[in-house]
Chain A
Amino acid sequence: MKIAVCIKQVPTREWQPRLNETKTWIREQEASYEMNEPDAYALEEGLRLREKHGGEVVVCSAGPARVQQVIREALARGADRALHVEDEALGAADASTAATALMAPMKEEGFDLILTGLQSDDQGHAQFGPVLAEKLGVPHSTIIMEVQFEPGQAGAIKVKRELEGGWFQYVTMPTPALLTIQSGINQLRYATLKGIMAAKKKEIRKVAPPPGLVPRLKVVALYAPQKSKQTVMIGGPAAQAAQELVRRLREEARAL
């Protein structure tokens, strides 16, 4: 079984924002990077499925040269090989553009199952998975907690989808299919010394992006969020303050 796991490299959670000259993107030079955490869960699920059903796990990533860091990490954790669509401009690409970049080489591979994280911790569009599914012409489902292969039905999977408010749903669909995996559904494995050493020998196929790739979204300004209101301090004795607060919450803020 051929499983693809799409991973993204994002600035670390501890990164302090610093904007570029035009204030339309971040200054990448000093940022430290790591694997997008939701994708790490997708990778773990892919590795577990391979352990159960055999086959290979191929990590796929679109981005500048620096994404090698997370590709190697994925290989060190046990992925078999990698596909890297490399271009400097892809570092700031929106989800749809990234999916377009990966479409052709991934179609060529003929994956049975494609796994992605829910969304990226940097841009957070939550689009990449479903967009890629459409581009590859495969069915998809999102926020998946469990993946099973239907017994006695070759080429089908049954997944458990998370819905709002504590509801869940089982969905069956044929493979090839694409799933976006819920974070926290399993424990992430560590890379071992042997894994790290073996990663150096694993294949990373580099592919150039298709020509004529244009961004779908243009960032015209990037800024720190401002608080729009001033703090309203409510004074007076406790009973009075409580009354005033509840009134304001009901009428002004509509929070109750």
Chain B
Amino acid sequence: MILVIAEQKDGRLNRASWEAVAAAQQLSGGQMPIKVAVLGSGVAGVAGELAQAAVTEVLAVDAVALGIYTPDAFVQAAAALIREQAPQYVLLAHTYQTRDFVPTLATRIDRALVTDVIAIRTAEGQAAFARPMFQGKLVADVVPQGPAPHLVTVQIGAFRADAVQKGQAPIVTVAGSVDAAAIRQRPEAPFQEAKQAVDLSQAERIVAVGRGIKSQENVAVAEQLAQAFGAELAASRPICDNGWLPMERQIGSSGQTVAPKLYVAVGISGAIQHLVGMKGSRTIVAINKDAEAPIFEIADYGIVADLFEVAPALIAELKK
């Protein structure tokens, strides 16, 4: 049986949890039952959402002490749940919260954990999990050792939430097993801070502009395109060297490394210094006048054309 642990906050399901369910369905290959658990206080609503998948059961693990996230409470509750349910695998999405408590959980129950998985393979008759290593330069197929359950976290965007087979699963409410006195962290309410610096690594979509934009005035075209895509604006090195965009928007070996869902490279030739900063992006679109530009080698979609013609056309199309 595969146990997926979904994530919710204030009654809102984290969409990445669906990706973990999709991964579970792939791992199971129809051979293993899948249960989805969600931890919190008053999680009936979220459980209802999760029940619309083709899974065996949804477990609403409810406890007051789980109302506010702390690693101590979640480790306790999850450990108890896993001991009770005895799954082969435990799957989660690799979110900030998961990173905060799952390694501790794995150690509490003394089991192997593979994190940041991008694909599921088979090796030596068992499931092997592909994950990036050496900052994405290499990929490793990893087999967790030791007895079951094995814990796995999947990289956000590596599995497709819309690939989840739909269905109707029964919901079981379980009392979360947490000793509140043993919780050592005392968190305060989360708050937002005014963004001080551009953090491109958090952007889901990025439109990046290169030398093909020709002049500072034309950067406005790229800005409009970024807006149309609902994306952050970024640039290759020459643009920032010229001062046309600030240094913090630079992508590449002397700037930031990003891996958004969508990367649109406009007028960028694809020098290797730029590629190393973005080739991990899920979907790459390249627009360049030069058919020989190296950027086309790593793009998923390419348009060989004048960006000053394609950009307005795209803006118009996206507005529809």
Q: Which residues of A contact B (CB under 8 A)?
A: 11, 13, 15, 17, 26, 95-96, 99, 121-131, 133-135, 139-143, 161-174, 177, 214-225, 227, 229, 231-235, 238-239, 241-243, 245-246, 248-249, 253-256
Contact = CB atoms under 8 A, between A and B. Distances in A.
B104 A134 contact: yes
A186 B300 CA distance: 38
Given A95-B103, A173-B186, A125 B115 contact: yes
Contacts of B75: 134
Contacts of A161: 187
B166 interface: no
Contacts of B189: 169
Contacts of A216: 112-113, 144-146
B103 A231 contact: no
B71 A126 contact: no
Contact of B301 (A134, A167, A232): A232
Tier of interface size on chain B: 35 or more
A224 B142 contact: no
Contacts of B255: none
Given A219-B141, A220-B123, A169 B188 contact: yes
A164 B201 CA distance: 11
B305 A238 contact: yes
A217 B114 contact: yes
What are the 4 A-B residue pairs with the smallest beta carbon separation, nearest first? A242-B313, A139-B184, A130-B103, A127-B103
Interface string B190-234: 111101000100100100000000000000000000000100000
Q: Secondary structure of the A side of the interface?
A: mixed
B18 to A, nearest CB: 12
Given A162-B96, A167-B192, A241-B303, 14 more contacts: A96-B103, A99-B107, A130-B99, A143-B100, A170-B188, A171-B188, A214-B146, A223-B138, A231-B302, A232-B302, A239-B316, A242-B316, A254-B162, A255-B205
A225 B138 contact: yes
Contacts, number: 225
Nearest to A125: B115
B62 interface: no
Interface in B51-107: 70-72, 75, 95-96, 99-104, 106-107
Nearest to A126: B99
A237 to B, nearest CB: 8
A159 B95 CA distance: 20
B23 to A, nearest CB: 16
A233 B195 contact: no
B139 A131 contact: no
Contact of B113 (A127, A168, A215, A219): A127
A142 B99 contact: yes
